[in-house]
Amino acid sequence: MRILHLALAADWDAAVRAGRYEVSTRGVSLAQEGFVHASTAEQLPGVAAAFYRDAGPLVLLVLDVGALEAAGSPVRWEVPDGAPPASGAFPHVYGPVPVAAVVDRLPAAVDDDGRLVLGGRPVSAAELDALERPSTGGASAAGPPAR
């Protein structure tokens, strides 16, 4: 299973040097928040529009949940505080993200209309869905595991 995280390019560069990523969300550290915010392909466009419109250079990180958990950073699916239950559960990574758990990274931006841009063009949640599947044809991580 894979999940997605938008990072400021400078934060990702620092993580590569350190061997781990410890930013929860834009301007907030893992130590401050207690977890790293992540998203599914369906959730990411809304996150990009709401929080990263004026952020500058970004990197879309594709995170392998099994690698995160093996490194001692479990993923929990939670509805954010103050969000309506209908918004669904988001994946939260409870611990640092080892660079080795990042299976892909793509230069990204958010355009003036709030659309996530990869490869110079806006992308849809359906296009992002392919990033959540391992190239060997694994199952999609379109949401939390069934209970």
List pLDDT tens digits, range 75-92.
999 988 877 777 789 999
Residue 8 phi/psi, 5-degree rounding, is -65, 140
Average pLDDT, the chain: 88
Domain that holds residue 10: 2-132
The verdict on residue 53 lying in a domain is: yes
Phi/psi of residue 39, nearest 5 degrees: -145, 165
Domain CATH number, residue 63: 3.20.170.20
31: confidence class by pLDDT, cuts 50, 70, 90: very high
Q: What are the CA-CA distances from residue 122 to residues 30, 85, 96, 112 (Å)?
A: 29, 28, 29, 11
Is it the case that residue 104 has pLDDT exceeding 60? Answer: yes
Q: In the chain, how many domains are there?
A: 1
- Residue 139 counted as domain residue: no
Tell me the whole-structure pTM to 2 decimals: 0.88
